[in-house]
Amino acid sequence: MNFQLTEEQMMIQDMARKFGEREIKPKAAELDRTKAHPAEICQKMGELGLMGITIPAEYGGGGMDYISYALAMIEISKACASCGVIMSVCNSLYNFPVYTYGTEEQKQKYLVPVASGKVLGCYGLTEAGAGSDPAAMRTIAEDGGDVWIVNGVKKFITNGNVARYGVIAVMTDKEKAYKGISSLIVDFENTPGFSVGTVEEKMGINASGTAELVFDNARVPKENLLGKRGEGFRQMLTTLDGGRIGIASQALGIGRAVLEEAIAYSKERQQFGKPIATFQAIQWKLADMATQLDAAELLILKAAWLEDNKMAYEKEAAMAKMLASDVAMQAAVEGVQVLGGYGYCKDFPMERHMRDAKICQIYEGTNEIMRLVIARHLTK
């Protein structure tokens, strides 16, 4: 069993770490406060190849493996969780299905611009009444001759307010439930009847836009069907599996930031004449954080390795997402405790990490759903 990273993997990890430390981390608090979309940072991430890491070079990507993607996601998310999720959505939720299921024409037209970092992509699945149960979705696409006529509202869509393109799940055959779901590639700037609705006010990841996508008799060209009619649910499952590796990596990055800041503070903060890092109560918190985060990292890398080697990884991706997000949230709670009153104040990044960590237990499949996925594999 070889735990040594390749030179290429170490290179992208180091590049992402240095970029995060120099270009993102100093701006993270201000981005959180202003809720501003980090356009300049996204442009630079695109120039560095971080928006299409696993996509082949001929389609604008970096042509690297999923382990490299996970390593880069961890480093970017450690600097700023909002920037991390923007990157994750482009790589996992948009690029993957277009590359995997798209035609050559679709790849050239809709994949290259996102994988090369020129524009952003998003993925539209969730609705007010359909999240964990996609068969309940009410966004309908009806045959309109040379177009699909789309009506419905997608909710909680990351990048939805800033993306140029989206892969949107729609019902093309409502009576068939799951088997009636299809996927459409939508060019938001050139789709009559499409508009961005409410942009949510959130607890955390504030520099990442979370928006409604409104389709009111929107006209989407017939050739924008991704794969075949009725294949959307299968496409969705494979897309979300990869997405969970991305969110697990985001969560781990947040947890790593928590641990680093808790260690640094505990070495400086003095009580009873010595640093609190010398107190067993604090040492145990740090030891638990480090152990749990390392365990989560091993699960993430295992899931990424399985995907790289074309092996089944649904269970491992669910385990990685569940564990990484749970331990990141636990680390954030303990990190605030280590800093005491300062951990509760916005002058320190710890309270932001706690707010950012929470969403990782919810999106791209709640951790309750992750447990169902894992249990299904164990009992089938």
Query: In the 8-state DSSP scheme, what is residue 6?
Result: P
Residue 345 is given by DSSP the state S
Q: Which residue has the tokens 């009580």?
A: 271
Q: What are phi and psi of 197, to 5 degrees?
A: -90, -135
> What CA–CA distance (Å, rounded) separates 261 from 338?
10
| Token pair in block for residue 96 | 């993957």
Q: Which of 183, 186, 262, 175 is CA-nearest to residue 221?
A: 186
- DSSP class of 145: S
Neighbours of 133 (CB within 10 A): 11
Q: What is the DSSP letter of 280?
A: H
How many other β-carbons are positioned within 10 Å of the β-carbon of residue 269? 15
Residue 175 falls in the annotated catalytic set: no
149: helix, strand or coil: strand
- Which residue out of 23, 75, 334, 364 is catalytically annotated? 364
Whether residue 343 contacts residue 336, with contact meaning beta carbons closer than 8 Å, is answered with yes
Q: Which residues pair with 171 in a beta bridge?
A: 140, 181
Report whether 194 contacts 137 (CB < 8 A): no
Per the CB < 8 A criterion, the answer to whether 164 and 153 are in contact is: no
Distance between CA atoms of 193 and 142, rounded to whole angstroms? 14
Task: Please report the beta strands in 209-366, taking only residues with DSSP state E, as ranges in sequence order.
Answer: 210-221, 225-226, 270-271, 274-275
Following DSSP, what letter does each residue of 227-264 receive, concatenated?
Answer: SSTT-HHHHHHHHHHHHHHHHHHHHHHHHHHHHHHHHH
Q: Cite the active site residues.
A: 364
